[in-house]
Chain A
Amino acid sequence: MSAISIRKVQSARSRSHAARNVSTMGVVVALFLIAYYALVFIVPFYRAIWLSFQNWDFIVDPIYVGMRNYDHVIHDDYFWQAAKVTLVFSVAEISIALICAFGVALGIHQLPHVLQRFYLGLFYIPVVVPGIVSILLWRWLYLPGDGVINGVLSRFGLPVQPFLNSTSQALWCIIAMVVWANLGGAAIIFFAGINEISIDLLEAAKLDGAGLWRQTINIIIPLLRPIFFYQVVVSVIGTVQMFEQFYLLSGPGFSTRTLAVYTYELGFKTLNLGYGATVSIFIFLFLLAATVIQVQRFMTKQS
């Protein structure tokens, strides 16, 4: 009885305590953030959903079309072609970039301390080159006739390649460029992660007869799982949103048209705003599903 009443008094006290402590600054900042997010997120997000039920070309007023846009998406070959390109690009770019970055981080970690920073810096240079510059740069490198890469190939007596002019090669050219541009960033994160692993742990493993390979497989990779997980989640969101790489390095036909480029073209080239919004909502749903699946897999593996 007394215990309950004490608890009641306590909770009442803490409630009045909380009420007294409502911070004016907190309220003001919160209201400001709500207003700001309303402008740049809530209203646009709501309008994206609203638009997906409309037919609108910017000229005549929007017409409500129900689920017709969604129905179109399901039967739209261009959409699925773009989805396929996006999927292939994401999976390939992320796997190659992360595996290479992990290898580089592991390798740099073996080097004498004085060299580590220098090598990390070298691998980081492409990350600092502005995106548009690296696109223009690689467009020169990939030139079919007298580009640099073909120059190098012919110097070694190898056949000259069409690169961006080829349906089968164009997407892989873009993948190579993006891997080049992103590898350094991931390498630094992995390097920092490896550095935080306790030396005692690795020495103990060494005493038990584990070589470099076994240590990597059995200690380093499991301990870095959260970093891998974070990197994959962030990269999926990043790669699906990439635009100018495909827009400016586009291969023949639809070989490099991703969902992001398709959305842009529908919205601002063919002025099919309702349908463009619908496609962009599918991008959101795909990303949401991918993230949920990854988080779930990560959680079950962790426990």
Chain B
Amino acid sequence: MFSNAITQRSWLQRIGKSGGWVTLVIWLLLTVFAVAMVYPFLWLVFGSFKTSSDILAQPIQLLPREWTLSGFRLIWNQSGLPRAYVNSMVVSGLIVFSTLLTSSLGGYVFARLQFPGRQLLFYFILSTTMVPFVTLLIPLYIVMLDLGLLNTYAALWIPAGVSSFGIFLCRQFIIGIPQELYEAAKVDGASDFRIYMEIILPLIRPVLSALAIFSFLGSFNSYLWPLVVLNDENLYTLPLILVQVSTTMGVTNYQGVMAGSLLASIPTLLVYVIFQRNFVKGIALSGIKG
């Protein structure tokens, strides 16, 4: 996963065999902890296949006493969940695409191209990460109101379509690409844009895929901003619809809410499983080099 197998081997094992029982105790502790961490999630997975009374029945039991799909039927047929699925996918798709575009372009021009005010603009963009989103919440809402964008996809998309962190990450990565590569292409008469398309973009794929995952998870999970700019239920994203369903369906329909929660988790779980390699790399990248 990280570097090769030799460096990966536990240093304790290499240092001495005397620590065998220590490893065993650590393993045991970790296992207990891991079970406690995974248990709530398993409870959600199995709970989706329970009846509402089974969910609340005492003594609690992880596995359903009687397996049923009625929760899924209920949530799929009697709530805005299918529609919200489409909304979430469209909005997240737009956000991921424009974040990758602006981050790679910004990263490239700040790393390689000359233009007046380059440093100043870059430091300005970096400094915007210091301002928390809540500080912009009320005025950004007013901007969207003034532009007539409330209750549109654009209101969800535009504020999240650029990422200062993404621009920074791409710039750092592109600076690491050997200058000679760029110079050689330049000598061959390639334009800046062609260099971006044909040299830079293929080379920064790892950082872009990590960024895509972060950006997807971020937009897919976003709750506060959609809550503020949407009141048209047809445009509700998954988090909004889930909260709505959990209050309207309430106690008697726990199974529906639970099945809906599981359905809503599938895209992020899939993204994680499919891109696991990049994911771990990306996290390491952002955590250490960031």
Q: Chain A residues in contact with chain B, CB under 8 A? A: 18, 21-27, 29-30, 32-34, 36-37, 39-41, 43-48, 51, 104, 107-113, 115-117, 119-126, 128-134, 136-141, 146, 148, 151-152, 154-155, 180, 183-185, 188-189, 192-193, 195-197, 199, 202-203, 206, 212, 226-227, 230-231, 234, 237, 240-241, 243-244, 248, 259-260, 263-264, 267-268, 273, 276-277, 280-281, 283-284, 287-288, 291
Say whether A34 contacts B114, CB under 8 Å.
Answer: no
Q: Give the CA-CA distance A256 to B138 in the complex, in Å.
A: 21
Q: Which of B11, B29, B191 has the most CB of A within 10 A?
A: B11
Smallest CB separation, A229 vs chain B (Å):
11
If A129-B269, A227-B288, A241-B133 are given as contacts, then 16 extra A-B residue pairs at C-beta distance below 8 Å, sorted by A number, are A23-B114, A25-B191, A39-B158, A40-B158, A119-B30, A126-B40, A129-B41, A137-B41, A188-B280, A188-B284, A188-B287, A203-B14, A206-B16, A230-B288, A243-B224, A267-B137
- Contact A132-B60, Cβ < 8 Å, known A117-B1, A203-B11: no
Q: Mostly helix, strand, loop or mixed at chain A's interface?
A: helix
Q: Are A22 and B130 in contact (CB under 8 A)?
A: no
Max chain A Cβ within 10 angstroms of own Cβ: one of B15, B129, B158, B217: B15
Binds A, one of B69-77, B172-180, B203-211, B257-265: B257-265
Whole-angstrom distance between the alpha carbons of A21 and B34 in the complex?
56
Would you call A24 and B141 a contact (CB within 8 A)?
no
Knowing A29-B106, A130-B239 touch, does A104 contact B269 (C-beta < 8 A)? no
Number of A-B contacts (CB under 8 A): 292
What's the least CB distance linking A17 to chain B, in Å? 9
| Contact present for A260 and B268 (CB under 8 Å) | no
A194 closest partner in B (C-beta) = B11
Q: Is the CB of A107 within 8 A of B261?
A: no
> Mind listing 14 A-B residue pairs with CB under 8 Å?
A23-B109, A40-B136, A40-B162, A44-B139, A45-B131, A108-B30, A122-B38, A132-B242, A137-B40, A139-B246, A148-B60, A151-B58, A183-B37, A280-B134
- What distance in Å separates the Cβ of B29 from its nearest Cβ neighbour in chain A? 7
In the complex the two chains form, is B40's CB within 8 Å of A192's CB? no
| B: interface residue count bin | 35 or more
Q: In the complex, are the beta carbons of B43 and A141 less than 8 A apart?
A: yes
Give A234 Cβ to nearest chain B Cβ, in Å: 8
Secondary structure type dominating chain B contacts? helix
Give the Cβ gap from A115 to chain B, nearest Cβ, in Å.
8
Given A123-B34, A206-B16: A284 touches B22 (CB 8 Å cut-off): no
